[in-house]
Amino acid sequence: MPAALKRLRLGPRHVIFGIISLIFMFTLYHISAVPHREHVEPHIGKVQLRPAQPEFPTTRPEDVDWPRRAEEVKAAFLHAYHGYEKYAAPHDDLLPLKNQGADHFNGWGVTMYDSLSTMLLMGLHDEFSRALPIIEQQNFTLKPPVVGAGKVASPVYAPFFETVIRYLGGLLSAYALSHEPILLERADDLATKLSGAFDTPSGLPAFGVNTETGNNTVKRITVLAEIASCQLEYSYLAKMTGKKEHYNRSARIMELLENKSIVSRYGMLPTKWSLTLGSPLNEQLSVGGAADSAHEYLLKLYLLTGKSDQGSLDLYVQTANTVLSMLLYVSSPRGLLYVTDVYPIPKPSHKFEHLSCFLPGLLALGVHTLPDTAFESVGPTRAIHWKDADELRHYNWKELHMLAAQGLAESCYQMYEDQATGLGPDEVKFREGELWVRKMKKWREGGRKGTPPGIRAKKKSDVQDGAVEYNVRSGKYLLRPETVESIFLMWKVTGDVVWRERGWRIFQALESEAKTASGYASLNTVALSHSTLKDEMPSYFLAETLKYLYLLFHNEDLVPLDRWVFNTEAHPLPVFEWTSWERRKFGIP
Ligand code: DMJ
């Protein structure tokens, strides 16, 4: 033993203890200094996380040049649209890797129609002027669709739902924004050519219709979103043309949806419907892909018609209350609020879809626009045997709806923030979760201390070892709009700049991960940065994703929420009121 150690009276045990301590401290330093989550390999149940950093460290909100950011979104739109014009027109969509066109929605050039309202809001008059003469020539006959290079599918049916929300909604919104008469004429033509879709025993629209023969798809079972997402378009068209037949389409759907026995049995509209009977066929409740826009149109029809359609409002409030008390769950450990579907009632699947991320924006829109009395006529869900619904009685309904909006919007954003690409997966499944209203009950009974469950902004440092509490079921990012839609609405309703900053992060991720030489492409996986892309640029990317981002950053209120209502494809339609003459003519109560 060295003399120096002897002088200090340190024995071999002290030396070994000292070395172990040094190793321990060295390891501890490196674990905390290096964000080891970066190195986690992505696989199911684990995601590769971005390095921890303060949420928005760069500039003070008041110093951010928001108009410049809006201009960057406009430049992105022009990049995508010019790529479409150059390589894909007159086909429907751009294949942004092959630089070719493909037809997925009737071959009438859906990207052009879906882009019209965005062009007008962005002041892109050259692009709009180039589109008008093409629209003037359109006769909506079905051509054999080209599916990628050389592949041709047989002509069949125009898909009713997609044709309505993209083409008809695009034309009507562009008409409302520009007052170009040809757009209304074409919208009227198109709706007339689609009318064969309603030739079903119930009057609910079939999945598809041949625009020349008027024949529709014979299948008699369909899903809620497909039958109940055209009322905005047909009501506005009736208003603008004075044609009762357009009004009747919407009125018949609402008459069937407002059937009291459905609401008292299920609490909201189930996903599967019979076109023969005009009634539900299953016990699945969802705000995801099979149902989403049908719930959205309940609130929006009320708003579009100058807050006059009480039946639609009541059904919306009833639906939202059922969602709040039966479909919302809180994850563990991070406490993310998520919306799932139940099947059979009330068994949750714990699936959380990107498509469902329109819901926080819708709830916020409801809080922003509805009268305080909206809840009173309806009360908590009427779904039978659902005792947990009573918890809703303990809150001010607007506060509760807004809490849910905030928690869900945070989770939708967190799905993006969790990924290496900064873009969100299409579908995840939470491993476990507790019903939100039960957690709310505990919070309330505990004296309402601290932030309510599911609301607190989630920190990435809450995640241990890169493991998150969900499995990624579809890790693709399909350029979808729902999260930025809700971010835009949260910004409008709360005025909290954090939503703008989150939107900016998403836009930057799009620029770095999805941009190609001719446009933007869906991602095959959100878990790997700069990985492979999918050769598609869906038209809703131009109609919705880029529009909501542009409106989020633009300092002017280009689409005031009390005067315009977005259809489910983000095409704004102006709020109107039925005149007494129209009420008599159409038979509106
Ligand atoms: C859009 O076409 C519409 O928003 C529709 O309602 C469902 N979602 C897609 C894009 O994700």
Average pLDDT over every residue of 465-493: 95
354 lines ligand 1 (CB under 6 A): no
Question: Which of the two residues, 55 and 71, has the higher pLDDT score?
Answer: 71
User: What is the per-residue pLDDT for 510?
Assistant: 98
What pLDDT is attached to residue 444? 97
What's residue 10's pLDDT? 55
Section 359-375 average pLDDT: 94
Per-residue pLDDT tens over the stretch 170-181:
999 999 999 999
Ligand 1, atom 10: closest residue by C-alpha:
480
Residue owning tokens 């714990």: 350
CA 514 to chain centre: 19
- In this model, does residue 298 exceed pLDDT 90? yes
Q: Which residue owns the Cα nearest ligand 1 atom 6?
A: 568
Gap between the Cα atoms of 517 and 301, Å rounded: 40
Give the helix/strand (H/E) hosting 391: none
pLDDT at 456: 77
- Rg over alpha carbons for the chain, rounded to the nearest Å, is 26
Cβ neighbours around 194 below 10 Å, total = 26
Q: What is the pLDDT of residue 374?
A: 86
Q: If you measure from the C-alpha of residue 168 to the centroid of ligand 1, how many angstroms do you get, rounded to a whole number?
A: 14
The backbone torsions φ and ψ at residue 337, rounded to the nearest 5 degrees and listed phi first, read -85, 130
pLDDT at 17 over 70: no
pLDDT > 90: percent of the chain: 79
Cα separation, 158 vs 164, in Å, equals 10
Average pLDDT score over residue span 46-64: 57
Give the pLDDT confidence score for residue 15 in this predicted structure: 52
Query: What is the Cα–Cα distance from 322 to 392, expressed in whole angstroms?
Result: 10
Separation of 224 CA from ligand 1 center, angstroms?
14
pLDDT in tens, 308-348: 999 999 999 999 999 999 999 999 999 999 999 999 999 99
pLDDT computed for residue 11 by the predictor: 61
Q: Rounded to whole angstroms, how far apart are CA atoms 339 and 209?
A: 33
Q: Tell me the catalytic residues.
A: 162, 166, 292, 482
Residue 46's CB is within 10 A of a number of other CB atoms, namely 18
- State the pLDDT at residue 35: 29
- Whether residue 63 is predicted with pLDDT greater than 90 in this model: the reply is no
Q: Which of 74, 94, 214 is CA-nearest to residue 148? A: 94
Pocket of ligand 1, candidates 544, 547, 548: which has the most ligand atoms within 8 Å of its Cβ, to mutate?
Answer: 544
Would you state the pLDDT for residue 25?
45
| pLDDT band at residue 40 under the 50/70/90 scheme | very low
pLDDT tens digits for range 76-101: 999 999 999 999 999 999 999 999 99
Ligand 1 contact, 480 CB (< 6 A): yes
Supply the pLDDT for residue 547.
99
Residue of 337, 425, 330, 355 whose CA lies nearest to 47: 425
Separation of 543 CA from ligand 1 center, angstroms? 10
Tell me if residue 486 falls in helix, strand or coil: helix
Q: What pLDDT shows up at residue 425? A: 98
540 lines ligand 1 (CB under 6 A): yes
Which band of pLDDT confidence, cut at 50, 70 and 90, is reported for residue 386? confident
Sign (positive or negative) of CA dihedral 97, 99, 102, 104: positive
The phi and psi torsions of 132 (rounded to 5 degrees) equal: -55, -50
Mutate to test the pocket of ligand 1, among 93, 114, 115, 165 (most ligand atoms within 8 A of CB): 165
pLDDT in the model for residue 225: 98
pTM above 0.85, yes or no: yes
pLDDT at 54 over 80: no
Q: Got the DSSP string for 4-17? A: HHHHTT--HHHHHH
CB 113 within 8 A of CB 164: no
What is the pLDDT, as a whole number, of residue 142? 87
Summarised one tens digit per residue, pLDDT across range 168-215 is 999 999 999 999 999 999 999 999 999 999 999 999 999 999 999 999
Cβ pair 527, 423 in contact under 8 A: no
532-555 per-position pLDDT tens digit: 999 999 999 999 999 999 999 999
Mean pLDDT, rounded, of the chain: 89
Q: At 144, is the secondary structure helix, strand, or coil?
A: coil
| Separation of CA 314 from chain center | 23
Q: What is the pLDDT of residue 247?
A: 98
**148 pLDDT higher than 80:** no
Q: How far is CA 5 from the centre of its chain?
A: 70
pLDDT of the residue at 382: 58
DSSP assignment of 422-484: S---SEEEES-EEEHHHHHHHHHHTTS-SSPTTTSPPPGGGSSTTB-SEEEEE--B----HHH
pLDDT of residue 150: 62
**Mean of the pLDDT values across residues 415-438?**
97
| 78 CA → ligand 1 middle, Å | 21
Quote the pLDDT of residue 192. Answer: 97
pLDDT at 442 over 50: yes
Q: Is any atom of ligand 1 closer than 6 Å to the C-beta of 104?
A: no
Dihedral sign, Cα of residue 46, residue 48, residue 54, residue 59:
negative
Band of residue 138 on the pLDDT scale cut at 50, 70, 90? very high
**What is the spatial distance between Cα 328 and Cα 350, in angstroms, rounded to a whole number?**
9
Predicted confidence (pLDDT) per residue in 245-291, tens digit? 999 999 999 999 999 889 888 999 999 999 999 999 999 999 999 99
